[in-house]
Amino acid sequence: MSDIKKVVLAYSGGLDTSVIVRWLQDTYNCEVVTFTADIGQGEEVAPARAKAEALGVKEIYIEDLREEFVRDYVFPMFRANTVYEGEYLLGTSIARPLIAKRLIDIANETGADAISHGATGKGNDQVRFELGAYALKPGVKVIAPWREWDLNSREKLLQYCDERNIPVEKKKGKSPYSMDANLLHISYEGINLEDPWAEAEEEMWRWSVSPETAPDKPTYVELTYKKGDIVAVDGQEMKAHEVLETLNKVAGANGIGRLDIVENRYVGMKSRGCYETPGGTIMLRAHRAIESITLDREVAHLKDSIMPRYAEVIYNGYWWSPEREALQALIDQTQAYVNGTVRLKLYKGNVDVVGRKSDDSLFDEKIATFEEDQGAYDQKDAEGFIKLNALRLRIAAGKGRKL
């Protein structure tokens, strides 16, 4: 007999997690608590309550986490200009720590013995959920049905539903892709995308128009920063999630944010995926622009040097780790003077920085000018500077060493 009496399940109300509710009840003879998070996935989460109730669930958590998600996870990540393998803006990765945190919180509140998720045994999400859970509650039991059952196809899942009278929608014309969405991005995997040579179908994209059909007139947008975070768009103050919602709309309308990559998963395989990150694409470009005038050179270069490591930490699921916290402390310290405004021009898939200003700017026009600088910079100083920096090169060359 199982010693698991109550399980908290990350529940979407879709086919997989609806099956998991009944499978947990049947396999472990336990009570199931469902947790549904609204992190801006663009789908109504309220119906999840009725679906859970129909499955006999008594404790149902449905939470709007959009502001917490952007404020406490997305924004801190963008302070580092984070990009995984040179392209991916980590839209899926950054949502998992918050979900893991709430799963553990709810387990503690309800006295549950275990948590459960619907991530498959091939992907990164199982790692991210579980690393977070173990970091926050070391002794927690994790149940991952996809690593235990033999229901390894949509047909088998639907058959399971029919046999047990599980109410699920069998939608016709639904996207065939495996998708994950939140306020930062939407991802697409599977079907023809499993061939790296096959071009993604235009009909697949949900959040953006194609650059070819984007408006012929550019759109200008101004972003105001305070300590590295956007606090206003076009002069209008907004909460964190409102900023991202606004930028998603304006960027998507201009064909911005599409990405098609093959990435290296933490579990070892390569995976081809397509992503739409319209607002995030703007945020990355704008943040680098405001840093370009407010950050000290060596600080900026130090940030750039640790960014790949920081990105890897998040991608691999180590948000709740001492190394991420240490990196975050350094990154956040650098943002004290990252204040000001960036002006961008959006046009047919492109994001161009056309202006930046800040009261904390380190850009000195008197020194940088090509005109008369009135003694602000003594060009004769460059001679000694160059000779000293060339000293080791001159010594080695004098010894006849070849490069």
DSSP string, 230-292: EEEETTEE--HHHHHHHHHHHHHTTT--EEEEEEE-TTS-EEEEEEE-HHHHHHHHHHHHHHH
Instruction: Indicate the range of 18-22, 59-63, 165-169, 224-228 predicted with least confidence.
Output: 165-169
C-alpha–C-alpha distance, residues 200 and 209, integer Å: 14
For 59, the 3-state DSSP assignment is strand
CATH superfamily assigned to domain 178-295+334-357: Argininosuccinate synthetase, chain A, domain 2 (3.90.1260.10)
Is the pLDDT at 168 greater than 80, yes or no?
A: no
Contact 90, 315 (CB under 8 A): yes
Annotated binding site for L-citrulline: 88, 93, 124, 128, 178, 187, 263, 275
- Averaged confidence pLDDT in the chain: 94
Q: Does residue 336 come out as left (phi exceeding 0), alpha (psi in the -120 to 50 range) or beta?
A: alpha
- Give tens-digit pLDDT for 175-192: 578 889 999 999 999 989
Name the pTM for this structure: 0.94
- Give tens-digit pLDDT for 232-248: 999 999 999 999 999 99
C-alpha–C-alpha distance, residues 44 and 62, integer Å: 11
Q: Report DSSP state, residue 363.
A: -
- Written as one letter, the residue type at 129 is F
For 100, the 3-state DSSP assignment is helix
C-alpha–C-alpha distance, residues 361 and 180, integer Å: 39
- Tokens 């969405």 correspond to 181
Number of separate helices (H) and strands (E) present in the chain = 13, 14
- Give tens-digit pLDDT for 282-300: 999 999 999 999 999 999 9
C-alpha–C-alpha distance, residues 361 and 363, integer Å: 5
What does each C-alpha distance from 279 to 42, 125, 216, 296, 340 come to in angstroms? 15, 23, 20, 27, 19
Which residues share a beta bridge with 225? 230, 340
- Give tens-digit pLDDT for 91-132: 999 999 999 999 999 999 999 999 999 998 888 999 999 999
Is the pLDDT at 1 greater than 60, yes or no?
A: no
For the chain, residues classed under CATH 3.90.1260.10 are: 178-295+334-357
Annotated binding site for ATP: 10-18, 37, 118
Annotated binding site: 10-18, 37, 88, 93, 118, 120, 124-125, 128, 178, 187, 263, 275
Which residues share a beta bridge with 61? 35
**Can you give the pLDDT at residue 153?**
82
**Can you give the pLDDT at residue 285?**
98
The residue ranges of DSSP E strands in 136-239, in sequence order, are 141-143, 178-181, 186-189, 219-226, 229-233, 236-237
Interstrand relation of 31-38 and 6-10 (parallel, antiparallel or unpaired): parallel
**Can you give the pLDDT at residue 170?**
61
Nearest partner of 125 among 152, 150, 95, judged by Cα: 95
**Can you give the pLDDT at residue 171?**
52
Contact 366, 374 (CB under 8 A): yes
Element holding 344 (H helix, E strand): strand 340-347
- Give tens-digit pLDDT for 345-397: 999 999 999 999 999 999 998 888 788 877 788 888 999 999 999 999 999 99
The length of the chain, given as a count of residues: 403
For 164, the 3-state DSSP assignment is helix
Residues 189-211: what's their mean pLDDT?
95
User: Which residues 6+ apart lie within 8 Å of 394 measured at CB?
Assistant: none
What does each C-alpha distance from 307 to 35, 195, 313, 342, 381 come to in angstroms? 33, 30, 10, 22, 34
Question: CA torsion 67→57→119→106, rounded to 10°?
Answer: 50
Q: Span 6-65+91-164: which CATH code?
A: 3.40.50.620
Contact 88, 277 (CB under 8 A): no
Angle at 106 between CA 102 and CA 109, to 5 degrees: 140
**Catalytic positions, please?**
16, 96, 125, 178
For the chain, residues classed under CATH 3.40.50.620 are: 6-65+91-164
